[in-house]
Every structure is written in structure tokens, then in C-alpha cells.
């Protein structure tokens, strides 16, 4: 990972983190006199970036003020606040704790994030003026810390592509995805030059089927509730701050050419509900191909099947720890809005069906590996919770000295498949290699129950199916 910084005046005592805001944008708003009072200015996209800030500060012993002034689209700003204001050594710090402690204690944090939201550059200039020291002295020794990343997790020897997770809970789907990537991801470097574990082409479907989704509180042990709320607002609004490269709301409600793509999608499906052309594209070929931070979500498609609106999201690059949960929750809210608008315009009563993400690169960055281990250890039983299969339920019972197996359709309970036999192999071979299941759990459960049913039949005992 390269440090994204500009050195302006090595003798100054002031450093600025612009968080997600383009540092050149901030510089362009400052007078030459003020620029000369800044030692270093740089971005901090993730909490992991605290290590590179500490590495830089270790080499500039005159810096004693760190200003936060920029758009905070992740939790990097809050992490910097914890470290430099609360003097907390967070888990994201991989540098020697005893050495960084001396640096942290010598730095005063000046949090101007709210002033940035008001575009109050005058306040930034005043704070720089007030805190600048003409003859700044070295307040600590030069330590020359160096961020060295050591890969500890095993890498799956071949790239695995394609896996399907069906869930009714976003939280459970998250746990299953993190578990999959931890076990079967291949280690490679990202364009941010940080190691990551990656699984290719992961598809996750959340089956809502008329249910209203409320953000599960279990998330808030690991992710800030405010980040969910902020991202939902950004996705549902066309407004974008000029200092931010993009927001999904701007790209889908007001693309560069002024097109409201969500309006097009709603109108298309209102008039032609069977259409497969209700597409929204967030990628901009002229801008994004050479951008350092292009959009991760590249497209959305809406489809109506039966009486349900279904929402599919294509994601080229997906941070599954902090990105995917926030993205899919916002997309659920966008899908709810679309469904409501279609019903209003077409006088229909469609309900929200499925939300599906297709992630070409589903990955976990190295700075989150330890966090993911803790998350999985605390939620190991979540993977075992029962999830009703949308492909239907199987009923198993004994009749006329045979085992009867029926597959019944959701909602209507009609029989879609039926077989009866007094021969285990016959039923086993009928199911083997078939595609009647949405999850491995369901297949394993069915195998266990069929075996039990035949054992009871052989002993002429009563069999009652496990009602898991």
C-alpha cells in the first residue's frame, strides 16, 4: 500500500488528513501563505491507514497537530479520533505498541470534519494559523517506523470461482461469506498494495418475499450504525459533494449526462413488467478507467417475476467486511423505494422478492483478518441456524411399508416432486446430483432424515420427521 501524501513544508508542525476527500481539492482551496504552514497533507481511506500515518509521523518529529478535514465515508475518521484524541491503541495498529505510544501522546487531534461538511475552508485556515509554530522544535526522536505486512493466513492453491449463499438474514449471509473467504480465499495484492484473501464470483441472495427489512442490531457490535444510515441516505439521493469523486446516488439518479436512471427503471417496469432491459449503470468509462477510486458497484438490474420485484447488483470489487453489509442494506432500501414507486404509477401490488449481489472479487483485506477471526469465533453457531429453502420443503413419512418423499412448493404447498420406495438406493440415486436444494445444509439434513426413515421402516418402528 502506497502512502497518498504530499509534503509541503518539512519544518511545519501541522499535518492534515483529508480522509476520503481528494487532497489536491483541499490544497486548491487554500492560499499560498496557508499552504506553507502545512507539513504534510494526505488521504486516509481505511482504519488500516493509521499505520502509515504513524510511519510518516515517526519521520517528522516536529509535527504535533493532526487536523481532520474531509469526507469520512468509512470509519477511518473515528479510528483516528480514538487513537489521537482518546489515546487508544486500536487493533488496527500493527506497529510496535511501545514506539507508537510515544508518537500518539505527542499529537493533538483537531477534528474539523463537521466544518468540512459545511465547506468552511475559512475555519480550516484559521485553525492552521492559530496552531502553526514559526520555529517548531522536535518534540520526539526520529524513530523511522516501517509498516511491514506479514501474511499469516494460508492461501488456497487454486483460484475458486462461483459459490451461492441463500439467506433471509443479511447478518447470517455476512458470516457465511466471511467464513467462505477465510477458508477458501486465495491471497493476492490489491491495487492499494495490501494483501487480501479473495474468492471469485460469489453470489448472495437475500430472500425477503414481502418482509420489511430492518438493519440487524448484531451488526452494530462490529460496524457503526451511523455508517449504515449515512450510506442509505447517499444511495437514495442525487446530491454529491464536489470534493467526493462519486456517490452511488449521484451515479444512478443523476449520471454525468443528467440522466435519472432509477426513474427510467421504474417507468420501464411500470409499463413493461416483463422487460429484461431495466438496467442502471454506475460505471463511467471516460472517468473510471483511470480513477484511483472507481465505483465498486457497476450495475443494477430490476426484474419482475410472479408478483415480486427482484433487485440484482453487480459488484466488480467487494470488501466483504465493511463494504458488503453497508452496500446491500442500502440496496434493499433502494429496492423498497423502487417497488413502492412502480406500484404507485402502475396501480399494481408488487412486493419485494429477492436482493442478489454478484461479487466478481469478494475479498477480505489483511487489516481485517484479525477482526474477521473474532467475528467468526463469536458467531460460529449462526451458520447452523435453520433457513427455509425457497425451492420448497421435503416431507418424509412411512406408508404401505415404503418411505415416501415429497417436495412441496412454498406458499401453495403443491407437490413438485414425489417418490416412494422400500429401497434406500432408489431414493438416494433419485436425489444424487439433482439441483433441488439451495444450501448444503438442506441436502445434509435430507440425507440424515431419509436414512433414519429407512432404519425405522426396517425395524417396523414409527417414524416422525425432525421438524427442524
Residues 259, 193, single domain; the answer is: yes
How many domains does the chain divide into?
3
Measured CA to CA, the distance from residue 424 to residue 430 in angstroms comes to 10
Domain for residue 212, yes or no?
yes
Domain for residue 412, yes or no?
yes
Residues 119, 262, single domain; the answer is: no
Query: In the prediction, which pLDDT does 48 show?
Result: 79
Q: What is the DSSP letter of 110?
A: E
- Looking up residue 119, the CATH number of its domain turns out to be 3.40.50
Question: Which residues, listed in sequence order, are joined to residue 41 by a DSSP beta bridge?
Answer: 6, 16
Residues 165, 246, single domain; the answer is: yes
- CA-based torsion, 151, 156, 158, 163: positive or negative: negative
- Domain boundary among the residues 351, 384, 417 is at 384
Measured CA to CA, the distance from residue 373 to residue 222 in angstroms comes to 12
Residues 76, 202, single domain; the answer is: no
- Domain boundary among the residues 338, 358, 384 is at 384
Residues 340, 405, single domain; the answer is: no
- Looking up residue 299, the CATH number of its domain turns out to be 3.30.572.10
pLDDT per residue rounded down to tens, the chain (468 residues): 567 899 999 999 999 999 989 999 999 999 999 999 999 999 998 787 899 999 999 999 999 999 999 998 777 898 899 999 999 988 778 899 889 999 999 999 999 999 999 999 999 999 999 999 988 999 999 988 888 755 456 889 899 999 999 999 999 999 999 999 999 999 988 876 688 999 999 999 999 999 999 999 999 999 999 999 999 999 999 888 777 778 899 999 998 776 899 999 999 999 999 999 999 999 988 888 888 788 999 999 999 999 999 999 999 999 999 999 999 999 999 999 999 999 999 999 999 999 999 999 999 998 899 899 999 999 989 988 888 899 998 999 999 999 999 999 988 889 999 999 999 999 999 988 788 888 888 888 899 999 999 999 999 999 999 865
Query: In the prediction, which pLDDT does 105 show?
Result: 94
Query: In the prediction, which pLDDT does 256 show?
Result: 78
Residues 267, 378, single domain; the answer is: yes
Segments forming the whole domain that contains residue 442:
393-458
Measured CA to CA, the distance from residue 412 to residue 200 in angstroms comes to 36
Residues 336, 206, single domain; the answer is: yes
| pTM of this structure | 0.70
- Domain boundary among the residues 355, 384, 413 is at 384
Residues 101, 15, single domain; the answer is: yes
- Terminal Cα-to-Cα distance of the chain (whole angstroms): 48
Measured CA to CA, the distance from residue 331 to residue 425 in angstroms comes to 45
Measured CA to CA, the distance from residue 95 to residue 91 in angstroms comes to 10
Q: In what order do the strands lie in the sheet with 14-19?
A: 5-7, 40-42, 14-19, 65-71, 108-111
Residues 168, 37, single domain; the answer is: no
Residues with Cβ within 8 Å of 383's Cβ and at least 6 positions away in sequence, in order, are 172, 175, 176, 179
Q: Which residue has the cell 518539512?
A: 10
Amino acid at each position: 500500500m502506497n502512502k497518498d501524501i504530499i509534503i509541503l513544508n518539512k519544518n511545519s508542525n501541522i499535518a492534515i488528513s483529508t480522509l476520503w476527500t481528494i487532497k489536491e481539492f483541499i490544497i486548491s482551496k487554500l492560499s499560498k501563505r496557508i499552504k506553507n504552514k502545512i507539513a504534510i497533507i494526505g488521504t486516509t481511506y481505511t482504519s488500516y491507514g493509521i499505520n502509515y500515518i504513524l510511519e510518516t509521523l515517526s519521520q517528522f518529529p516536529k509535527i504535533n497537530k493532526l487536523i481532520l478535514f474531509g469526507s469520512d465515508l468509512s470509519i477511518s475518521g473515528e479510528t483516528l479520533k480514538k487513537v489521537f484524541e482518546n489515546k487508544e491503541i486500536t487493533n488496527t495498529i500493527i506497529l510496535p505498541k511501545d514506539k507508537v505510544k510515544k508518537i500518539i501522546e505527542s499529537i493533538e487531534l483537531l477534528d474539523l470534519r463537521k466544518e468540512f461538511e459545511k465547506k468552511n475552508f475559512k475555519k480550516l485556515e484559521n485553525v492552521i494559523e492559530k496552531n502553526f509554530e514559526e520555529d517548531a522544535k522536535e518534540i520526539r526522536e526520529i524513530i523511522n517506523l516501517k509498516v511491514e505486512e506479514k501474511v499469516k493466513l494460508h492461501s488456497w492453491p487454486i483460484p475458486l470461482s462461483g459459490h451461492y449463499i441463500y439467506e433471509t438474514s443479511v447478518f447470517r449471509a455476512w458470516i457465511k461469506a466471511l467464513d467462505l473467504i477465510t477458508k477458501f480465499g486465495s491471497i493476492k495484492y490489491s491495487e492499494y498494495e495490501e494483501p487480501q484473501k479473495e474468492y471469485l464470483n460469489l453470489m448472495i441472495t437475500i430472500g425477503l418475499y414481502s418482509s420489511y427489512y430492518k438493519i440487524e442490531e448484531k451488526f452494530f457490535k462490529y460496524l457503526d450504525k451511523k455508517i449504515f444510515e449515512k450510506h442509505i441516505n447517499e444511495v437514495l439521493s442525487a446530491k454529491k459533494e464536489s470534493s467526493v469523486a462519486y456517490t452511488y446516488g449521484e451515479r444512478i439518479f443523476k449520471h454525468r449526462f443528467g440522466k435519472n436512471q432509477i426513474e427510467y427503471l421504474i417507468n420501464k417496469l411500470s409499463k413493461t413488467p416483463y422487460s429484461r432491459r431495466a438496467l442502471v449503470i454506475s460505471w463511467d468509462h471516460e472517468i473510471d478507467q483511470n480513477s484511483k477510486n472507481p465505483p465498486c458497484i457497476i450495475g443494477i438490474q430490476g426484474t419482475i417475476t410472479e408478483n415480486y420485484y427482484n433487485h440484482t447488483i453487480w459488484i466488480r470489487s467487494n470488501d466483504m467486511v465493511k463494504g458488503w453489509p453497508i452496500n446491500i442494506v442500502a440496496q434493499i432500501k433502494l429496492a423498497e423505494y423502487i417497488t413502492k414507486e412502480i406500484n404507485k404509477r402502475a396501480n399494481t401490488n408488487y412486493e419485494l422478492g429477492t436482493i442478489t449481489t454478484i461479487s466478481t472479487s469478494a475479498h477480505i483485506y489483511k487489516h481485517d483478518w484479525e477482526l474477521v477471526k473474532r467475528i467468526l469465533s463469536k458467531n460460529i453457531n449462526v451458520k447452523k441456524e435453520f433457513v427455509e429453502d425457497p425451492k420448497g420443503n421435503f416431507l418424509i413419512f412411512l406408508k404401505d411399508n415404503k418411505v415416501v418423499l415429497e417436495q412441496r412448493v412454498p406458499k401453495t404447498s403443491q407437490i413438485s416432486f414425489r417418490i416412494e420406495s422400500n429401497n434406500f438406493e432408489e431414493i438416494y440415486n433419485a436425489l444424487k446430483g439433482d439441483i433441488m436444494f439451495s444450501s448444503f445444509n438442506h441436502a445434509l439434513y435430507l440425507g440424515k432424515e431419509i436414512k433414519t426413515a429407512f432404519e425405522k421402516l426396517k425395524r417396523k418402528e414409527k417414524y416422525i420427521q425432525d421438524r427442524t
